[in-house]
Structure 1
């Protein structure tokens, strides 16, 4: 289903939202699941094996959300650092649960080889409401820059700042869903007062490389690993995925830092954004989580093997 900007229920076509429109949008959002039950309780269950780092708190009255990261207990300055982030877009479920599953089942495999920092849910307000934006109708994944207007993005950048120059690999876990076209892109067009141009949702997993510092062999290693778990998105008739040219099987590229994307917050030589497609009839929720875990493991394994 597609929704044109002229029929989006909030705003006036051609006019960007103001405070009244944002307030009207906020009034439509409803809590649909629990950050505490799904994320905080899962993190608490890992405290016996990892350091749990509070790195901030989101205050969106009347709600408040503690922000937690999972860190290797044997963190050593001499080791390379690995950053895994999930839930930058709160509605992208397998990013959150894939990060937690990786920490639970595979993080121990890298003890003594790398320092791990896993941030499973960057945007808890969006997680609870199954939404892409934060409470201010801002996209955290376009807000990773100095003086960020998004609390979620600013908090993560503060967490990473002390070791950002030592990050070897950063994997940012995302999903592309049917609601990108039925809700989120039409809402974005309405918010910004521009025309909505329908797009095409790819059926399958894909990656986003850094166009400024591409690592095609690294991306291919991840694709090869994930292909054992779920199917890889093909290019469309134009040779594109979500409007970007395919640069390798299941891989497109963005200017990560210039766009304010989470995967661009460090100068890690190896970085990628995963995109799982949970609405495919060919993929189960378990496969989606497993695909995220496979991507993280393959990324770390490649980076450790090829690090200079």
Structure 2
């Protein structure tokens, strides 16, 4: 159990004033426009870039972008890649962009590609899990969502729903999950916080309703070529969940409102890099995300 959070009263959910205090404590630490939008616009020479919405927060407007493969045809199955649902999870954003840069044209010969590289740009800039309303976008993919990040993405993706075969959602698990985000969540909701064991390495979260273990294994095998896979703890668990196989656990992504449940795709996975590992570098985490996408797509190519 962690120490009480700095905002609010233990055991009492936050009201408007506590949420405002939390928001006032946040600050810009990096630039979405310089780090992300610049790269998206560079890719527009090779891919179709469109704006699917915008967010107005703190006197700022953040444009949201989707990137599609140029040779789109209705006879190809569609692959969805999402990053930055939690804006602070850096390698998910840059892994999505680097995949397109290195391999997008190759895989677009076989598949239609849709990439939403950064769903939560305010979270990217302030290095946050939540949006400014203290809402977690990755628990908000459901009808009537209070998170604009989730609603705008879901509304945009609805037009492709019938043809999406695979969704790869790129995430990280970090030490700040225990030092900041889980304590903040407990304070916000007026509950007791119990930190979890942070896995040292890369792992996957499959969907309990469609686990597809061979698909997940293909991803793990590819990622293991570039970075280390998280070992299970002494209870044969990762983040408190029993492992399904090496480096893989399962959540009910639809019930929990996770981004992985936003489509009816039969093949879904959420990646989790660990950037705070002594064995990791920012680039190795990006490499792991790129490898995860390749592992997923190579598996699907071989099914054809």
TM range (shorter): over 0.9
SS state at 1:159 partner: helix
Matches within 5 A, 1:122-161: 122-161=119-158
SS state at 1:272 partner: strand
Unaligned runs of 5+ in 2: none
What is the CA-CA distance between 1:116 and the residue it aligns to? 0.2
Match of 1:163 among 160, 184, 199: 160
Please say if residues 80 and 166 of structure 1, whose CA atoms lie closer than 8 Å, have aligned partners that are also in contact. yes
What is the CA-CA distance between 1:136 and the residue it aligns to? 0.4
Matches within 5 A, 1:1-308: 3-4=2-3, 7-307=4-304
Distance 1:242 1:173 in 2: 17
Distance 1:187 1:290 in 2: 30
RMSD: 0.9
Distance 2:270 2:24 in 1: 31
What is the CA-CA distance between 1:9 and the residue it aligns to? 0.6
Distance 1:89 1:73 in 2: 28
Q: Deviations over 1:8-54 (max 9, x none)?
A: 11011111001000000000000000000011000010111011010
Distance 2:98 2:45 in 1: 16
Distance 2:48 2:16 in 1: 40
Distance 2:151 2:127 in 1: 21
Distance 1:211 1:142 in 2: 16
Unaligned runs of 5+ in 1: none
TM-score normalized with structure 1 length:
0.97
Distance 2:284 2:137 in 1: 26
Distance 2:300 2:239 in 1: 27
TM-score normalized with structure 2 length:
0.98
Distance 1:117 1:268 in 2: 13
Q: Deviations over 1:155-191 (max 9, x none)?
A: 1001110011211111000000000000000000000
Distance 1:3 1:26 in 2: 21
SS state at 2:43 partner: coil
Please say if residues 100 and 120 of structure 1, whose CA atoms lie closer than 8 Å, have aligned partners that are also in contact. yes
Please say if residues 3 and 183 of structure 1, whose CA atoms lie closer than 8 Å, have aligned partners that are also in contact. no
What is the CA-CA distance between 1:79 and the residue it aligns to? 0.9
Please say if residues 86 and 121 of structure 1, whose CA atoms lie closer than 8 Å, have aligned partners that are also in contact. yes
What is the CA-CA distance between 1:305 and the residue it aligns to? 1.9
Paired residue total: 304
Structure 1 stretches of 4+ moved >2 Å: none
What is the CA-CA distance between 1:111 and the residue it aligns to? 2.6
SS state at 1:106 partner: helix
What is the CA-CA distance between 1:3 and the residue it aligns to? 3.4
What is the CA-CA distance between 1:303 and the residue it aligns to? 1.6
